[in-house]
């Protein structure tokens, strides 16, 4: 039986969606299968041109907690803001439409925010997965404690992940929500402004399976990222009365482009280190096929097959 609609749910899960027919069922199922049941799921279909809308219409009939809005394509910031304005919950949990939430994510994050009323947002550890859902490795950038998270944000780092996080809705509204001019890094901008409103933290638990694939914004629009992030950090320095710096973003923290061979090798080595052997062998073989006469390809393939 579908769950009954809740007029004032504890959590509003907000999910912008654009051309994600391959992944959105799994993303939605990961929300509907949460151990914490007092939520609504708001999905903004941002003008999808593939089969995303048909899948949403089908799933909408199966659970009354799902609320779907279809708009012209406006970008993720506008969609996220619309979802936040529609939200009736005390807390907002973000989930991108190609990612997956572990079953106990909402339960653990609500418990944390209830027991830490001073915190305005909480994230968690992040397990990277590939297009097929195979585990890659945990993101090493995740930090703990408000001071450390804020320091890393001010350095242009990625210490807390939007799709792994839950916010207090009143805090998001108080800082003005997302700012559309900072698309590609609208989450970084929001986290910095939230950190000026109250503490941020991360759970030691994995709260997100973050899908990495070549069609994601992370890879397809990486060349535009540096200037946007620089402007976000300049604005934060001005708001906080801090002196401007010549270079605000640590170069090593900027997203960088990898060719396909380099990415296969990176994922293979990191998966091997994390003991995800099937994933390591998959990407070692993919790299081997691209460069079969390379000594590096042979070394990686040997280590992956040995499992160390």
How far is residue 205's CA from residue 101's CA, in Å, rounded to a whole number? 12
pLDDT tens readout for residues 23-47: 999 999 999 999 999 999 999 999 9
111 within domain boundaries: yes
Q: pLDDT digits over 138-192, tens only?
A: 999 999 999 999 999 999 999 999 999 999 999 999 999 998 888 788 999 999 9
- Residue 250: the pLDDT is 58
- Does residue 233 carry a pLDDT above 60? yes
Same domain? For 274 and 160 the reply is no
Sequential DSSP letters for 94-142? E--TT-B--TTHHHHHHHHHHH-TT-SEEEEEEEEE-TTS-EEEE-TT-
Predicted pLDDT at 2: 46
From 239, 268, 292, the end of a domain falls on: 239
What's the whole-number mean pLDDT along residues 255-265? 75
Mean pLDDT of 237-250: 77
Residues 62, 65: Cα–Cα separation, whole Å: 9
201 in the same domain as 123? yes
Say if residue 141 is in the same domain as residue 179.
Answer: yes
- Residue range of the domain that includes 181: 11-239
More reliable by pLDDT, 3 or 175:
175
Q: Are residues 183 and 263 in the same domain?
A: no
Query: Residue 63: inside a domain, yes or no?
Result: yes
pLDDT higher than 80, residue 15: yes
pLDDT band at 228 (very low <50, low <70, confident <90, very high): confident
Ordered alpha helix ranges (H), 145-212: 146-154, 169-174, 186-195
Q: Of the ranges 6-10, 39-43, 201-205, 289-293, which one carries the lowest mean pLDDT score? A: 6-10
Beta carbons within 8 Å of 274's beta carbon, 6+ residues apart: 135, 136, 137, 138
Q: Are residues 116 and 49 in the same domain?
A: yes
DSSP 17-71: ESS-TTTHHHHHHHHHT-S---EEEEEEEES--SSHHHHHHHHHTT-TTEEEEEE
253 pLDDT more than 90:
no
- Tens of pLDDT, residue by residue over 75-88, are 888 888 899 999 99
Strand partners for 42: 14, 67
For residues 36 and 157, membership in a common domain is answered with yes
Which of 211, 239, 267 represents a domain boundary (last residue)?
Answer: 239
In the numeric block, which tokens belong to residue 179?
A: 């700012």
Residue 82 lies in a domain: yes
Q: Residue 24: give its domain's CATH number.
A: 3.90.550.10
**Total tally of structural domains belonging to the chain:** 2
pLDDT higher than 80, residue 3: no
Residues 200 and 79 in one domain: yes
Query: Domain for residue 248, yes or no?
Result: no
Co-location of 90 and 230 in the same domain: yes
Rounded alpha-carbon distances, angstroms, from residue 191 to 202, 248, 306: 13, 17, 42
Buried b (16+ CB within 10 A) or exposed e, 15-34: bbbbbbbbbbebbbebbbeb
Q: What is the pLDDT of residue 236?
A: 93
Same domain, 43 and 130: yes
In a domain, residue 251? The reply is no
Residue 281 lies in a domain: yes
Q: Is the dihedral of CA 261, 265, 266, 268 positive or negative?
A: positive
Instruction: Compute CA 120 distance to the chain's CA centroid, rounded to the nearest angstrom.
Output: 18
Length of the chain: 308
135 and 283 in a single domain? The answer is no
The pLDDT, as a whole number, for residue 222 is 53
Residue 247 lies in a domain: no
Q: Does residue 159 sit in the same domain as residue 24?
A: yes
Per the domain annotation, does 106 fall within a domain?
A: yes
Average confidence score pLDDT of the chain: 89
């Amino acid at each position: 039986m579908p769950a009954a609609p809740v007029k004032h749910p504890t959590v509003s899960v907000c999910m912008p969606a654009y051309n994600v027919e391959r992944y959105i069922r799994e993303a939605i199922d990961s929300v509907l299968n949460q151990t914490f049941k007092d939520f609504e799921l708001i999905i903004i279909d941002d003008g999808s041109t593939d089969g995303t809308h048909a899948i949403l219409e089908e799933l909408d009939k199966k659970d009354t907690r799902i609320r779907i809005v279809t708009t012209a394509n406006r970008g993720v910031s506008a969609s996220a803001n619309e979802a936040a304005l529609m939200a009736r919950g005390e807390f907002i949990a973000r989930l991108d439409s190609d990612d997956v939430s572990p079953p106990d994510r909402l339960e653990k994050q609500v418990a944390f925010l209830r027991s830490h009323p001073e915190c305005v947002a909480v994230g968690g550890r992040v397990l990277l997965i590939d297009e097929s859902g195979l585990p890659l490795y945990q993101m090493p950038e995740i930090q703990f404690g408000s001071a450390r998270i804020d320091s890393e944000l001010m350095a242009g780092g990625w210490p807390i992940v939007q799709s792994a996080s839950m916010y207090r809705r009143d805090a998001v509204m108080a800082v003005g929500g997302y700012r559309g001019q900072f698309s590609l890094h609208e989450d970084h901008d929001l986290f910095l402004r939230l950190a000026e409103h109250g503490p941020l933290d991360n759970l030691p638990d994995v709260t997100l399976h973050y899908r990495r694939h070549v069609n994601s914004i992370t890879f397809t629009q990486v060349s535009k990222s540096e200037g946007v992030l620089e402007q976000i950090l300049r604005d934060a320095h001005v708001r906080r009365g801090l002196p401007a710096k010549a270079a605000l973003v640590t170069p090593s923290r900027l997203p960088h482009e990898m060719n396909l061979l380099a990415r296969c090798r990176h994922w293979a080595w990191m998966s091997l280190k994390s003991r995800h052997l099937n994933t390591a062998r998959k990407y070692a073989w993919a790299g081997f096929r691209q460069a079969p006469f390379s000594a590096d390809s042979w070394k990686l393939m040997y280590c992956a097959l040995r499992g160390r």
